[in-house]
Amino acid sequence: MLPHGPLVAVCTLLCVFASPSWAVNDESLLEGLANFETAAGGDIDSPTPARPAVTSNLVRRIQTELSDQGFYLGPIDGRFGPQTEAAIRAYQESADMKVDGKATEQLAQDLSTGGKVGKLLKRLEDTRSRSIESARDALLANPDTRYLIEGNATEDKTRKHDSKACMENPKPRCLLIEAVDSARDIDKPEMRDWALGEILTAQARAGLAKDATATTRRIHDPRLIMVALRDIAKARAELGEIDDAIAAIDIIPDPLKRIEAYVAIAEIQTKSDPDFDPANTVQNLAPYLEQVPSLLAQVSFRTRIAAVLAKAGHENHARTHIEAAEQELENITETEERDKGRRYIAAAYAESGLAKKALEVLKSIENGSDDAPVLIAAATGLAQSGEAHAALITADSIEAVRYRALVLARIASYQGGAGQISEAKDTLIKAKEASIKIKFPFAKAYAFSRIALAYNDVSISAGDTTELFDQAIESAHLISDDRLKAHIFWTIADERRRGADLKGATQAQEEARKATEDILSPFSRVWMLCDIAVERAKRNEDDAAWSIFGVAMDEAKTISNPWGRARALSKTAATMTSLTDKTVETARSTPNQ
């Protein structure tokens, strides 16, 4: 005999079936059946697993998102039926997910995230199209460049993808199609999602909204979508497309991460172009800062914002944020948190060019074990302002040798720029002595990389092509990480070429080629060469950028491992887009030359 609860449920369902008015649509009936099975405790004398209950609100959310993305054409009524199930199955199949047709909370969240990202990607595609059209007009206006545009054949979008043709004549879209195909063959889900996240960023960067939307559906870890949104925001900020960058940020659901992204964009604005004023971006932070429950977090964000504003020349606004942080600090009662807050404030003073004020704040902190970041900023600030002696004293107070070596290398570069060549040499000797004592291999390698660059900087400042340059080469050889070593040699070679030292450039470039060959991973070689190409493009060295990109592309073609191939091709596609955009930007800024 059935228990009382299930018996009532069975009678209720039988009454519905027997009633003359039971002729409701099949979606309502199926939803009732699903709810009944759950209420009855699952199956009744049947080995078939119970179907989960589906709430109307959940189904309505899923129907809405499926409709927005073009999978569902039925009514948004919250009733689960064949039409809704078919739409879910179609979406799951497009996203390379398990196709079960079930309406779940996880599915609703995936759809919601994908829908928001899709709208952003469409906006980015429109922005890029307008930018390309503007560049086209500029090229057409110039008789010397008009031939580049006129007479081009229209691409046949119905043509099937040809892998061989793509490798012979690579373009961002075909490279990304290849990358997606390779990603499908990655066995581990977390590694596949990682590769897809990089592909998504590259697709968005290239204005391939539809392709990027499809990739978003294939990423099962929403955290990687958030990472991609952050990277997209940074890429748009670097191009000066702040509205698009902010549109990417506003999708991020976590308020703290959203604030971090806003601050990151403001920092990019201060570095990339003096015409990009971060003050407007900072204004967007005001309502979010008020929602931060942690006083220490508020102090942290305030001080970072102050540093950004100070670097952009908004000293008064910067001081206002520091003062607000100091007021918030007064309400923090826990000693350890107060000390952290003081360090944040000290760092803000140091990065705002008030190094002595920063050191005064540090004196009020009893435990000085975490003072290194502030001391680094203070020493750098003192060196920048020409107070090298005070900078060296501050650097000597940094206990951790891995940090002290880096600061000493920075100070030496500033000394060289100020014509203090002898003093710079002495500082670099101290930096090398500190680096030798570093225990962690990569930290030691990184320290020697900074020393090598500093020797090169001082050498160029002094007009030296022998002693100091030889020291730069020798220091670069002490770098144990092959990829970092190769990158530093390429950087030195480029700096010598820019300084008209062709002999030194040739020597460093030969070392760079050897170091590149020593990198065991083809993927690492591709990544490093692409980074060099982008660095050259930022300096408007288009020919040199495309030349080294060609080497990276040839290397990428040799990779067969799905994980390495997917990431290498997405990297080359993103780099090609950057180089193309840089050429477009040059054409747009000089249309009649």
Distance, in Å, from the CA atom of 238 to the CA atom of 271, rounded to the nearest integer, reads: 9
Whether residue 412 contacts residue 386, with contact meaning beta carbons closer than 8 Å, is answered with no
Whole-number pLDDT of residue 489: 98
Whether residue 453 contacts residue 491, with contact meaning beta carbons closer than 8 Å, is answered with yes
Whether residue 385 contacts residue 415, with contact meaning beta carbons closer than 8 Å, is answered with no
pLDDT classification of 154: cutoffs 50, 70, 90? very low
Whole-number pLDDT of residue 140: 59
DSSP 303-361: HHHHHHHHHTT-HHHHHHHHHHHHHHHHT---HHHHHHHHHHHHHHHHHTT-HHHHHHH
Whether residue 38 contacts residue 52, with contact meaning beta carbons closer than 8 Å, is answered with yes
**Terminal CA-to-CA distance of the chain, rounded, Å?**
92
Question: pLDDT over 70 for what percent of the chain?
Answer: 80
What is the total residue count of the chain?
593
Whether residue 448 contacts residue 475, with contact meaning beta carbons closer than 8 Å, is answered with yes
Mean pLDDT of 13-36: 39
Rg (CA), the chain: 30
Report CA 167 to chain centroid distance, whole Å.
27
Distance, in Å, from the CA atom of 132 to the CA atom of 421, rounded to the nearest integer, reads: 47
Whether residue 318 contacts residue 306, with contact meaning beta carbons closer than 8 Å, is answered with yes
Q: In this predicted model, which residue has the larger pLDDT, 156 or 289? A: 289
List Cβ neighbours of 133 (8 Å cut-off, separation of 6 or more): none
List Cβ neighbours of 33 (8 Å cut-off, separation of 6 or more): 13, 51
Tell me the residue type at 54.
V
Distance, in Å, from the CA atom of 17 to the CA atom of 23, rounded to the nearest integer, reads: 9
Whether residue 521 contacts residue 540, with contact meaning beta carbons closer than 8 Å, is answered with no
The model's pTM: 0.71
Q: Tell me, what DSSP letter sits at residue 455? A: H
Whole-number pLDDT of residue 466: 86
If we measure between CA atoms, which residue out of 332, 316, 326, 330 comes closest to residue 346? 326
- What are 353-395's pLDDT values in tens digits? 888 888 988 888 876 567 888 888 899 889 988 899 999 999 9
pLDDT classification of 235: cutoffs 50, 70, 90? confident
If we measure between CA atoms, which residue out of 328, 245, 253 comes closest to residue 288? 253
- What are 265-317's pLDDT values in tens digits? 888 877 766 666 777 777 777 777 777 888 898 898 889 888 888 888 888 88
List Cβ neighbours of 19 (8 Å cut-off, separation of 6 or more): none
Q: Which helix (H) or strand (E) holds 584?
A: helix 562-589
Q: Tell me, what DSSP letter sits at residue 408? A: H
Q: In this predicted model, which residue has the larger pLDDT, 421 or 121? A: 421
Whether residue 102 contacts residue 88, with contact meaning beta carbons closer than 8 Å, is answered with yes
DSSP 69-85: TTS--S--SS---HHHH
Distance, in Å, from the CA atom of 495 to the CA atom of 492, rounded to the nearest integer, reads: 5
Whether residue 283 contacts residue 321, with contact meaning beta carbons closer than 8 Å, is answered with no
Q: In this predicted model, which residue has the larger pLDDT, 131 or 2? A: 131
- What are 455-496's pLDDT values in tens digits? 999 999 998 778 999 999 999 999 999 999 999 999 999 999
Whole-number pLDDT of residue 274: 60
If we measure between CA atoms, which residue out of 577, 531, 559 comes closest to residue 185? 559
Q: Tell me, what DSSP letter sits at residue 51? A: P
Whether residue 232 contacts residue 127, with contact meaning beta carbons closer than 8 Å, is answered with no
If we measure between CA atoms, which residue out of 362, 358, 115, 330 comes closest to residue 217? 115
Residue entry with tokens 């020349």:
313
Whole-number pLDDT of residue 312: 82
- What are 537-577's pLDDT values in tens digits? 988 899 999 999 999 999 999 999 999 999 999 999 999 99
Distance, in Å, from the CA atom of 427 to the CA atom of 390, rounded to the nearest integer, reads: 13
